Structure 1
Amino acid sequence: MFFTPRRLLTALLGAISPVAAFTNSIRNPGGSDPQIVYTDGYYYLMSTTWSNVQIARATTIEGLKTATRKTVYSSSEASRCCNVWAPETHYLGGAWYIYFSAGNANNLDGQNVHVLKGGATPWDDYTYVAQLTSEWSIDGTIVRFNGWGNYLATSCFHGVANQSICFQKLGDDNVSVTGSIGVISQPTNSWEQSGTPVNEGPAALYINGKTYVAYSANYCWTPDYCIATLEWDGTTDPLSASAWTKSDGCLFKGGVNGHYGTGHNAFFQSPDGSQTWNVYHATSNSAGACDDSRYTMVQLLNTNADGSLNFGTPVALNIDSAEPA
């Protein structure tokens, strides 16, 4: 067959498979406190309607927008029925666990971290196991340390005036904590005190041989809610504040592309493990918001030539981003 230049170009283009892409936002409204994990060919997105814990799965990030949501927890028990926040799923010892914050309906005084136990995949059914913390705590996540074990990280008021990042050793059963509580970061800098001094939303990050804890600074009802980091020194007891070095200000913040209050994030790996992705929430309200107007965003996390973290800036909505590799 004879190919004219136009036919040749059409044939060549047709032979090239299009690159799969997604656009932000991923969950809007109701996209607060997001976490995504990738395992066994699926992305799993954790969410809540403030009275339950839900999980959705899809084979692509774009697919999460329309994926069926499966409710894995709701309760009429007064002490944990309501104000359900920040669910996260973690694979520990051959099973998936969900850690989440919950309390009573009347106020926020009873907030604590609770745990569900699931099965071999995040899609399996979960059973309520226990209240994990014994004093006011929210935003529970798991941080792993070689040689030290696993720790529960939360935002709490343990002996301090303001919401701070706290650690406690996770029990071998993954549904209890042991030993003392260590306050590893307090909102002592001016850039952590917009609205009211706050450190919350911890998230573990392991990259370039280093262990970080990202966290959200400032009051969530302000546009200044942002992401900062703590870097572990690699040798000192993780419960000690001296083991951690705080970033010099926010590393990721709003005021760009119509996004404000960019925070409460988590990280996940691409299918081939070569990329680290940042999932976070934002609001279009320029005054800041801490309600269901927040939406879920996903974008690639980069590093600079010297190995330091480069979060970039919040990506514009409806811009095509290549699906994780």
Structure 2
Amino acid sequence: MRYSKLWVPFVILFFLHGCRSTAQTDKKGGGAPEPCTFSNPAADGQDPWVIKKDGFYYYLESSGGELYVSKNRDLTQLKEDEQKVWAQPDTGWNRSNLWAPELHYLDGKWYIYYTAGNTDGSPFIRQRSGVLESKTDDPQGEYIDKGMLYTGDDIQNKTETKWAIDLTPLEIDGQLYAVWSGWEKNEDTDRTPQHLYIAEMENPWTISSNRVIISSPEKSWETGTELAINEGLQILKNKKGDVFVIYSASESWLPAYNLGQLRLTEHDPMHPDHWEKKGPVFKGTPEVYGVGHASFTTSPDGSEHWIAYHTKVSPDPGWNRVVHLQPFEWNEDGSPHFGVPVSAGKSIEKPSGECE
């Protein structure tokens, strides 16, 4: 009995070591599992749009005049199971320059808002905003083109639709609004300042009021060195329902591209004085250039908030860009706190609930 008692500690240690070793192997018993981390860039491309619904992430992008929707349960796998859903027509107002599409679920249907024009290449002076409506409940299914959205100043006669890009819907207490980046008047040059506008919508494909400016590029971080720009806007709401417009400022082709913020301070979003400006709320670093045009979602288990945005691959002028992902927090006043953009190649913990 004396020798048996002496062996007890060694038996316990052996047993614990065996349990620990088993926990460190993967399900197939082939060694330690992969770390629950990833690194940016998460994908090639620009103007990232990701939406989460019913446990799936849907990622929308344009390529070669076509729109593709991807579907995955993991946020960090943006372009898995990619399906083409629409192609530009050969003729018409939207035959060329397909930009910045967004996928939204409104009134029980999927809608895609997009920017296009009828001129090939630059100058980009004919850009307008259009909308597609899904034929089925599947966001990767077929869509019908509902046409160009009216973004002018004569809603009664709908004359002279003004230059408009990056249109996104905003819903407040059952009323739908359209918010976008546009010009005060149509010009013969794309070296024209861009403002943020809002208008009421009758339904997801019909604007029903004249536009109102809610932001102009006036601050030093918006005016840039070559052109004053407000664009790439997205809606972000906190748990209390506070409404924010997070938008891109300065020139997208330069490292100074950054994010600004508008906060709705009163109920009526059609009143310019009800929007409070702050910025920059997210900007580049010596290693990360030209952060902008973001979209927002949550982790698979809903416990974390994440931002998807694009960055330039070099500080040189141009539009060679990639997509980054990272989590963000909230300030005490309810506004988003995006922190500092994480450098490419640096390890980041995957979204909560993505790893088993």
Common fold: TM-score over 0.5: yes
1:265 maps to 294
Shift of 1:87: 0.3
1:156 maps to 182
2:232 maps to 201
Question: Kindly tell me: are residues 22 and 239 of structure 1, through their superposed partners in 2, closer, same or farther at Cα, counting changes over 3 Å?
Answer: same
Per-residue CA deviation, residues 165-210 of structure 1 (Å, 9 max, x unaligned), is 10111222x1110111010000011111112100001100001421
Q: Distance in 2 between matches of 1:263 and 1:27?
A: 15
Structure with more relative contact order (C-alpha pairs < 8 Å, separation 6 or more): 1
Q: Distance in 2 between matches of 1:225 and 1:50?
A: 25
Shift of 1:309: 2.1
- Is the 8 Å Cα contact of residues 54 and 73 (structure 1) preserved in structure 2? no
SS of equivalent residue, structure 1 residue 152: strand
Gaps of 5+ in 2: 1-10, 28-32, 151-160, 187-191
Question: Kindly tell me: are residues 280 and 150 of structure 1, through their superposed partners in 2, closer, same or farther at Cα, counting changes over 3 Å?
Answer: same
1:275 maps to 304
Q: Distance in 1 between matches of 2:35 and 2:221?
A: 40
Question: Kindly tell me: are residues 259 and 15 of structure 1, through their superposed partners in 2, closer, same or farther at Cα, counting changes over 3 Å?
Answer: closer
Q: Does 1:87 align with 2:114?
A: no
Question: Kindly tell me: are residues 207 and 71 of structure 1, through their superposed partners in 2, closer, same or farther at Cα, counting changes over 3 Å?
Answer: same
Q: Distance in 2 between matches of 1:288 and 1:43?
A: 32
Output the TM-score relative to the length of structure 2: 0.82
2:22 to 11, 19, 29: 11
- Is the 8 Å Cα contact of residues 211 and 234 (structure 1) preserved in structure 2? no
SS of equivalent residue, structure 1 residue 9: helix
Question: Kindly tell me: are residues 50 and 108 of structure 1, through their superposed partners in 2, closer, same or farther at Cα, counting changes over 3 Å?
Answer: farther
Aligned length: 316
Letter in 2 for 1:13: Q
1:144 to 164, 171, 194: 171
Question: Kindly tell me: are residues 250 and 288 of structure 1, through their superposed partners in 2, closer, same or farther at Cα, counting changes over 3 Å?
Answer: farther
Any residues of structure 2 matched to 1:95-174 within 5 Å, and which?
A: 95-106=109-120, 107-118=123-134, 119-133=136-150, 134-146=161-173, 149-158=175-184, 162-172=193-203, 174=204
* Residue identity (%): 29
Letter in 2 for 1:57: K
Q: Distance in 2 between matches of 1:266 and 1:234?
A: 24
The CA RMSD measured in Å over matched residues stands at: 2.3
Q: Distance in 2 between matches of 1:121 and 1:302?
A: 32
The more displaced of 312-321 and 152-161 is: 152-161
Q: Distance in 1 between matches of 2:276 and 2:125?
A: 31
